[in-house]
Structure 1
Amino acid sequence: MKFSTQNPKKSLHLVSLGCTKNLVDSEIMLGKLKDYAISNNAETSDVIIVNTCGFIDSAKEESINTILNLHEQRKKDSVLVMAGCLSERYKEELQKELPEIDIFTGVGDYDKIDTLVNEKRSGFTNEVFLLNETNDRVITGSNYHAYIKLSEGCNQVCSFCAIPSFKGKLHSRTLESLVKEVKNLVAQGFYDFSFVSQDSSSFLRDLNINDGLERLVNEVEKIEGIKSARILYLYPSTTTLSLIKKIEQSKVFENYFDMPLQHISSKVLKIMKRGKGVEKLKELMSAMRNTPNSFVRTTFIAGHPGETQEDFEELCSYVEEYGFDRANVFSYSDEDGTTAYELDGKVDQETIDKRAEILGEIIQRKTLESLEKEIGQIVDVYIDGESEEHEYLLSARKTIWAPEIDGEIYINDNETGKELTVGKSYQVKISELAGDKLLGTAIKEI
């Protein structure tokens, strides 16, 4: 995601790669550098920052390519900054191999970026950076929605994941800090929130509180002015039936359940070092699915070491049977520093790619089935602006959906009697599905 405005002051071009957690960190950097005018033109900018992703090979490659391309474009005497997960994960190697970069910084110095830029020096702190309500932050991409980061780091030991090696152990923000930040954003006009972290269902467990998310729901519901909220990135072993029921009973939190399962074979899950067994997992998933008006999203990994054809077929059958509203599949890739990297039973690349393709086709079909169920329904949406398809089509999303990842509704007719406003919520009657986009008519503002 790139951010852009125009101003004659010294200019800043920032590219945020990877996940929404990275986006929040990018917004912190924009806040710390608010004396700079944000520009969409890298060639004329005085400072260029790339907030990198270091999760998997494709993300690492995108980060390197992006920063080298920006180096080719930039003007003389500009400052090029490499920040975030990739530079944290490979700080020694990258500083040796990329002389093109002026400043390197990792995941602990987002609130010091102004000092690093002004002094034109690299910096890597060993402390975990935790956002708090006093941090300046420039919310991007929306005039009504904001992401709220619950914690940093992760205590899980998933075989395929290197995140704890460079993000560290779980460090939760205090509930008081989160409530203050949300209240501040509500006062600025925001009323839709997505709560995110590496492992959201472990929120406050590092502080010996096991029902942190339930407490969060209670406190957020007391804040006047919030229309909707959702929680992303639940983890199987720390999600409870009690939490699912708490979300169902909430008047603010949507029945949105985002739990990356990665697999369903008990043998593969054991190899992956995930969860407490398939029966508990299926019980949780059934509770989510049986919650009225629920929306369930997940991710899977195809071709993890030790995955047999039988394991893969079991996974495919479960995806067919369950009917996820949305899902993603990733091809397994070796990541140095992970236990999976050292495992025997590696699956060959051709088989990995084939399995990912097969599972991807099932997921695509199930997504379309989920979208087809919307035809004829009257749904609540937020309007985000003009669609990229056509200037006469407005882009909207259902209030239960997370921004950008769950889909888009094109509004092609308006029966409200008034001009539709970006950022407002409306009831829309869904008329048809064109490809993977729903079309609908705005009926009334809500």
Structure 2
Amino acid sequence: MKKLYLASLGCVKNLIDSEVMLGRLKDEYELTQNPSEADLIIVNTCGFINPAKEESIETILELANEKKENAKLVVTGCLSERYKDILPQEIPEVDIWSGVGDFGNIDKVIKSNKKKYFSPKVYLIHNEDRVITGSAYHAYIKLSEGCNQKCAFCAIPNFKGRLNSRPIEEIIEEIKRLKAKGYKDFSLASQDSSSYLRDKGIKDGLERLIDEIDKIEGITVRILYLYPATTTKRLIRKIFSSKKVQNYFDMPIQHISPKMLKIMRRPGSVERLKELLYEMRKEFSFVRTSVIVGHPGESEEDFNELKEFLKEYEFDRVNVFAYSDEEDTPAFKRKDKIPQDIIEKRVKEISKIVKKTTKKALKKYVGKICECYMDGLTKDNLFYSVRPKLWAPEVDGDILVNESEIENLKVGELYKVKVENLAGEDLIGKIIK
């Protein structure tokens, strides 16, 4: 068989599309971790913010340099879609450029040998077979594609289009199909998960989906990317009452100053936003968020308001983003831009606060017994790595285990772990059942 090297950059939604491409190509290519021996190299790019764009460009150039003679380099995804009129001229080393419309059609794209292959419609997975990567027991499930929100800083709707949700039956069928292959832990992802099915005129789509998920035995599920304006207390209570969906709330707030939320075009009041966040704390839960620092119009007073709220609320995890100036967005046109040195200073200040609140959140687990998925040995072979089923893979960390009362531990199995202490930023535990 011919060999394929695939670089999937950016978010888990990109990863799902990359897994669809692997599914389309699995009969003709086998995966390799060495790009210099690959007959086909695919880069699934991210075009969200400047650091992601830079990483995508660097990866393309590195792989163009490493590819062997007669190998094909195919670049697809968000960055190539967003800059399809510019990049093919700027990087002639790429053999085929494609966008966000042909992940399920990648074999035809490759066989076409066209320099540019851009379908007008954004691709949304349906019943396609895909090759799950990175885990033998966890898989991401895509709820929808596109976004109807109009955030001032975000260019995603420009190249991903409007919200397009998958039917509930299709998502349930995919979960059951993957369960039959041994997958038992799932993370649901989209640009805006709490708006799921609103494009079909259904306001409680996510709640209806949870009802159907609860009928499937032997799985755990968490929902990523809630949007404040379409998240309700009823949805939060539905998650609390679910037997399968974890008390996991991933809701990017971006800011807490009323003035900044208005500038950012984030609908809804600060009072309602805080009500939702404190509703999420009414039971034992995990709350993750994201904030943008240095957005145009952010005064020192706005910034201090954000700092104080992060100290007060004590999120379990926080992603801190420096504002990225993206063309074709309302924020790009504003005249009240913040100097880069001030943005960097503010990011450092916020990051210090987040480090303290994250450590405080980790301390809550000391002395507790958690149900955790076994992920295997750490790279240095000194510990076992386990993940509380409440936490999301990759982004939320793990618990290190150096002692077990159970023998013959298996990856993907659930174990009861007693968390004994916090060493620096690492939780240390013992498997007891």
- Asked whether the equivalents of residues 427 and 443 of structure 1 are also in contact (C-alpha less than 8 Å), the reply is yes
**Structure 2 equivalent of residue 127 of structure 1:** 121
Residue 252 of structure 1, aligned match among 234, 237, 244? 244
2:395 is the alignment partner of 1:405: yes
- Asked whether the equivalents of residues 255 and 400 of structure 1 are also in contact (C-alpha less than 8 Å), the reply is yes
Deviation at 1:63, TM superposition (A): 0.2
What secondary structure is seen at the aligned counterpart in 1 of 2:288? Answer: strand
Deviation at 1:223, TM superposition (A): 1.6
**Structure 1 equivalent of residue 175 of structure 2:** 182
Deviation at 1:224, TM superposition (A): 2.5
**Structure 2 equivalent of residue 212 of structure 1:** 205
What secondary structure is seen at the aligned counterpart in 2 of 1:352? Answer: helix
C-alpha distance in structure 2 between counterparts of 1:249 and 1:175, whole Å: 19
C-alpha distance in structure 2 between counterparts of 1:318 and 1:289, whole Å: 15
2:33 is the alignment partner of 1:44: no
The AA in structure 2 aligned to 1:287 is E
What secondary structure is seen at the aligned counterpart in 1 of 2:351? Answer: helix
C-alpha distance in structure 2 between counterparts of 1:423 and 1:321, whole Å: 36
Residue 414 of structure 1, aligned match among 384, 401, 404? 404
2:297 is the alignment partner of 1:303: no
Deviation at 1:120, TM superposition (A): 2.2
Deviation at 1:136, TM superposition (A): 1.4
C-alpha distance in structure 2 between counterparts of 1:148 and 1:181, whole Å: 8
What secondary structure is seen at the aligned counterpart in 1 of 2:356? Answer: helix
Residue 419 of structure 2, aligned match among 402, 408, 430? 430
Residue 25 of structure 2, aligned match among 10, 15, 33? 33
Deviation at 1:144, TM superposition (A): 0.9
What secondary structure is seen at the aligned counterpart in 1 of 2:280? Answer: helix
**Structure 2 equivalent of residue 354 of structure 1:** 345
The AA in structure 2 aligned to 1:271 is I
The AA in structure 1 aligned to 2:212 is E
Residue 74 of structure 1, aligned match among 36, 58, 67? 67
Residue 395 of structure 1, aligned match among 378, 381, 385? 385
- Asked whether the equivalents of residues 205 and 212 of structure 1 are also in contact (C-alpha less than 8 Å), the reply is yes
After TM superposition, list the pairs within 5 Å mapping 1:268-287 onto structure 2.
268-287=260-279
C-alpha distance in structure 1 between counterparts of 2:207 and 2:267, whole Å: 20
- Asked whether the equivalents of residues 275 and 281 of structure 1 are also in contact (C-alpha less than 8 Å), the reply is no
2:192 is the alignment partner of 1:199: yes
Query: Can you list the C-alpha shifts for 1:401-429, whole angstroms capped at 9, x where unaligned?
Result: 0000001111110112x221111110011
What secondary structure is seen at the aligned counterpart in 1 of 2:281? Answer: helix
Deviation at 1:368, TM superposition (A): 0.6
Query: Can you list the C-alpha shifts for 1:246-272, whole angstroms capped at 9, x where unaligned?
Result: 000001000000000000000000000
C-alpha distance in structure 2 between counterparts of 1:225 and 1:265, whole Å: 42
- Asked whether the equivalents of residues 392 and 412 of structure 1 are also in contact (C-alpha less than 8 Å), the reply is yes
CA RMSD of aligned residues (A): 0.8
C-alpha distance in structure 1 between counterparts of 2:111 and 2:432, whole Å: 52
2:335 is the alignment partner of 1:341: no
* Length, aligned pairs only: 431
The AA in structure 2 aligned to 1:253 is V
**Structure 2 equivalent of residue 4 of structure 1:** none
C-alpha distance in structure 2 between counterparts of 1:435 and 1:90, whole Å: 43
Deviation at 1:312, TM superposition (A): 0.3
Query: Can you list the C-alpha shifts for 1:90-120, whole angstroms capped at 9, x where unaligned?
Result: 0010011110000111111001101111232
C-alpha distance in structure 2 between counterparts of 1:224 and 1:379, whole Å: 20
What secondary structure is seen at the aligned counterpart in 2 of 1:91? Answer: coil
- Moved segments of 4+, more than 3 Å: none
C-alpha distance in structure 1 between counterparts of 2:279 and 2:42, whole Å: 43
C-alpha distance in structure 2 between counterparts of 1:322 and 1:136, whole Å: 42
C-alpha distance in structure 1 between counterparts of 2:363 and 2:268, whole Å: 34
Deviation at 1:438, TM superposition (A): 1.1
Residue 281 of structure 2, aligned match among 272, 289, 294? 289
Q: TM-score, normalised by structure 2?
A: 0.98
C-alpha distance in structure 2 between counterparts of 1:159 and 1:233, whole Å: 18
2:225 is the alignment partner of 1:236: no
C-alpha distance in structure 2 between counterparts of 1:410 and 1:279, whole Å: 39
2:377 is the alignment partner of 1:386: yes
What secondary structure is seen at the aligned counterpart in 2 of 1:383? Answer: strand
Query: Can you list the C-alpha shifts for 1:136-185, whole angstroms capped at 9, x where unaligned?
Result: 10011111111000000000000000000000010011111111111111
C-alpha distance in structure 2 between counterparts of 1:310 and 1:94, whole Å: 41
C-alpha distance in structure 1 between counterparts of 2:142 and 2:106, whole Å: 19
- Asked whether the equivalents of residues 378 and 427 of structure 1 are also in contact (C-alpha less than 8 Å), the reply is yes
**Structure 1 equivalent of residue 313 of structure 2:** 322
2:80 is the alignment partner of 1:116: no
Query: Can you list the C-alpha shifts for 1:256-305, whole angstroms capped at 9, x where unaligned?
Result: 00000000000000000002111110110110122x11100000000100
Deviation at 1:123, TM superposition (A): 1.2
Residue 374 of structure 1, aligned match among 365, 368, 374? 365
**Structure 1 equivalent of residue 11 of structure 2:** 19
Deviation at 1:313, TM superposition (A): 0.3
What secondary structure is seen at the aligned counterpart in 1 of 2:86? Answer: helix
Between the aligned residues of both structures, percent identity stands at: 55
C-alpha distance in structure 1 between counterparts of 2:211 and 2:119, whole Å: 35
C-alpha distance in structure 2 between counterparts of 1:76 and 1:320, whole Å: 55
